[in-house]
Structure 1
């Protein structure tokens, strides 16, 4: 792959020219490298003081390599050739992009959908090791998955201590319980937040156990990081950070398109890093992951910043506001971490907290404790039950097409649609195809997230960022459900509570939510695709065509 590179055009180039000299004069790059917690203001200082460990973690991370290799050999000697990762947010997104880019297999279990969990279990626990990855161990998704795997191991006559590896922060409740159970434990640097943890134990242990060359990844990252600490106008991290956070008016929809970068799924990792870091206090940057030829690419708009992930910087001159970035995975991970906190500096945002993530968790816990009766649908169309926030649907609405049209009618000229699919991403991948169709119909950017994993990612932006989103929530019945040993609810009840809880929080914030519940997964997916295709384009889409 070509060396690290950056190029900007249009408003992005103006932002670089206007902001980088000031960033250099204020010594922002060297202060980040020196872990100066004062950069983001007095209110952020306490959090920043314990969240900058990612800038110089390379020596500590390399110390993990022989331990990971030893563990991998021990697992292989027991017939293990399959690694499953139970983790959410940064604990799953980083290992996923690392292993996919390296071309090795890692089964990422970042869902509470019972069908998806059952599919992973049915592949055979006899040849499987489970990595349980959580800073505290209190993450309900990861805790539930661990409990289920422990039972399956025991039922198969396998000692769970021989198959479960735990990654957590030192001193966490999970570390204590894992050591008591005899599990192999890797502790991560507690001064690194989850979305910045790609090159800590959270990213490296599952990736290394799956077979990734971690040394090379760390070497690439460390070599690049030395450039990013320099107070120089040639510093690519300053340039990228200025392009992301320095356009005026702010181009807050970041349209990510991979043009053969060789890094598989990088935009999905960057999505959490950027959205959760910046989406608060009514502002922020919303990554929108697209494919070549999608509507956001063919019809760019005034609030779009196109980001092209390329194998090498080209000589192409763009008339639109565009950024090109190239480089290997290790270098780009550190580049985007630096650039995100630099953009946050320009936006006057604390990049290390996530004040609105907890609201959906609280709502979920309340629903699991009280177990209210399921809200009756407003109507049922074929295999799809329709529910919506009060006043969203017009009188007489009777079809899924009517309901989607009403939701899109709520989109503002600066708005976005978030599609949230609380269902099985392994076996229902076709749902993701709705994203580009809806973007073409609406004329506005559309994000797609698998629930509940997006709650640990763009969920912060949905609640703390600009209140211009409209939300299409997709849930589904399942013929499969799984008991969670030691807990008074099943996986099916948990994922339903997570969807309902998140919808209720959005509704309380005045955000429109349309919930489509698929009563027959196979039939309803086809029905939903047909209904979406029949929706008439909005005025925004007509104006851009």
Structure 2
């Protein structure tokens, strides 16, 4: 279950007594929930403290949705959708629906074309909505919900309320008030867990369970990671190691991290990772800029820049040891494509060879590297991976003396939009 880390430099040389002392203080601050932004450290022990009652309730609701609907539309933006999207995309088969509903996301962008075409697509299907917002007034999902709520009420009449599930704050907010008024079933966004750390709460679990995946295994993987990373040891705690290496490279003049993977199933893990680290670290003129590439595709586009461009980035590979399904290259009678030399090789083995070749080439080009390897793509390993990233992100931000749990820059753009559109009070 443990994630392995390989670094192109010498990790042991990065540790000093001063850094060990700082890491110890950070670790204790996280474990005791006394660090900066302590009000939002509820995610740290959530996997081990989530109630069995809540898990069974979510599973029951998911089963109900599957039995009554063809499509679940999840309305949310940022952490309200990226976690569930990452897990579902990592586990799904592109050309075949599992034993769950089709999960479609809305409210993560403002597009009349998208919403109009979505509602047309839904017309001959049974539909359930899950609106996810702590306040209910975040503009992008609120716009989508206005249209989709109207669609549901027009289509289902009095029965619409049973098909609209709300995940919101437990005690306050416009969405909570609306849910009470309309009688919508409710789930809670815990007050001490921010959106980008919320994948293991009802925010992520309900869509994942509705899609047909095992949320108990997901939580168990996160629980294993929680127990593993609560031990302070700079030589074995992978979350600390990843944070230390990133911090060293940042201070050495590499302010951009590119996450690279050869597995397209992980593309939304990359998107979730970008939000997690970008919003947590990018403050006060500090922070590593998170970017991503999908190989081999991007080796034929951005690969040139990574190989020979300005030396300001480092590369983190995310590899998976075992493929879910695979093909083996066969020998052709007419070797016109000159591929018979690959006969007997699986395509997964080909990608592993491409990783080795790419790593070597980019190292020769002066690109520092980290390689993270997970055993396989399933619920338990994904739960472990996502928790690993959350814990490492907290260490990374605290090493920069930054609060990982606010996002003041996001509020600036929102205020400007409200001013431009003449929202009352702005």
Residue 19 and residue 335 in structure 1: after superposition, are their counterparts in 2 closer, same or farther (change >3 A)?
farther
Residue 153 and residue 15 in structure 1: after superposition, are their counterparts in 2 closer, same or farther (change >3 A)?
farther
Cα contact 2:89–2:268 (8 A) shared by 1: yes
In the other structure, the counterpart of 2:164 is 164
After superposition, give the CA deviation of every residue in 1:156-194 in whole Å (9 maximum; x if it has no partner). Answer: 234321211111121122222212211110012110111
After superposition, give the CA deviation of every residue in 1:36-57 in whole Å (9 maximum; x if it has no partner). Answer: 22xxxxxxx3xx1210000011
In the other structure, the counterpart of 2:412 is 359
Q: Secondary structure at the match of 2:166?
A: strand
Give matches, 1:525-544, under 5 Å: none
Cα contact 2:267–2:294 (8 A) shared by 1: no
Cα contact 2:255–2:312 (8 A) shared by 1: yes
CA distance in 1, matches of 2:51, 2:244: 29
In the other structure, the counterpart of 2:277 is 274
Give matches, 1:218-229, under 5 Å: 218-229=219-230
CA distance in 2, matches of 1:15, 1:111: 45
Q: Between Structure 1 and Structure 2, how many residues are aligned? A: 360
Q: Secondary structure at the match of 1:265?
A: helix
Q: Secondary structure at the match of 2:311?
A: coil
**Structure with the higher helix share, 1 or 2:** 2
In the other structure, the counterpart of 2:345 is none
Structure 2: 5+ residue runs without aligned partners?
93-97, 323-351, 375-380
Q: Secondary structure at the match of 2:258?
A: strand
> Aligned to 2:385, which of 332, 339, 344?
332
In the other structure, the counterpart of 1:7 is 6
> Aligned to 1:307, which of 311, 316, 333?
316
- Higher mean C-alpha deviation, range 171-180 or range 227-236: 171-180
Residue 348 and residue 147 in structure 1: after superposition, are their counterparts in 2 closer, same or farther (change >3 A)?
same
> Aligned to 1:82, which of 52, 71, 74?
71
Structure 1: 5+ residue runs without aligned partners?
38-44, 371-486, 488-500, 502-545
Cα contact 1:270–1:336 (8 A) shared by 2: yes
Residue 14 and residue 271 in structure 1: after superposition, are their counterparts in 2 closer, same or farther (change >3 A)?
farther
In the other structure, the counterpart of 1:144 is 143
Q: Secondary structure at the match of 1:212?
A: coil
Residue 308 and residue 234 in structure 1: after superposition, are their counterparts in 2 closer, same or farther (change >3 A)?
same
Instruction: Give the C-alpha shift of residue 322 in structure 1.
Output: 0.4
CA distance in 2, matches of 1:70, 1:20: 51
Residue 169 and residue 305 in structure 1: after superposition, are their counterparts in 2 closer, same or farther (change >3 A)?
same
Instruction: Give the C-alpha shift of residue 259 in structure 1.
Output: 2.5
Residue 157 and residue 169 in structure 1: after superposition, are their counterparts in 2 closer, same or farther (change >3 A)?
closer
In the other structure, the counterpart of 1:106 is 103
Cα contact 2:62–2:206 (8 A) shared by 1: no
Structure possessing the higher relative contact order (Cα contacts under 8 Å, 6 or more residues apart): 2
CA distance in 2, matches of 1:321, 1:61: 43
CA distance in 2, matches of 1:62, 1:342: 29
Q: Secondary structure at the match of 1:85?
A: strand
CA distance in 1, matches of 2:18, 2:117: 50
Give matches, 1:390-429, under 5 Å: none
Instruction: Give the C-alpha shift of residue 264 in structure 1.
Output: 4.4
After superposition, give the CA deviation of every residue in 1:385-412 in whole Å (9 maximum; x if it has no partner). Answer: xxxxxxxxxxxxxxxxxxxxxxxxxxxx
In the other structure, the counterpart of 1:476 is none
Q: Secondary structure at the match of 1:263?
A: helix
Instruction: Give the C-alpha shift of residue 298 in structure 1.
Output: 2.9
Give matches, 1:245-284, under 5 Å: 245-247=247-249, 248-260=251-263, 263-284=266-287
CA distance in 2, matches of 1:205, 1:212: 10
After superposition, give the CA deviation of every residue in 1:246-300 in whole Å (9 maximum; x if it has no partner). Answer: 3232421011111238534211100000011111111111111112212344336
In the other structure, the counterpart of 1:195 is 196
CA distance in 2, matches of 1:255, 1:62: 38
In the other structure, the counterpart of 1:406 is none
Matched, 1:28 2:17: no
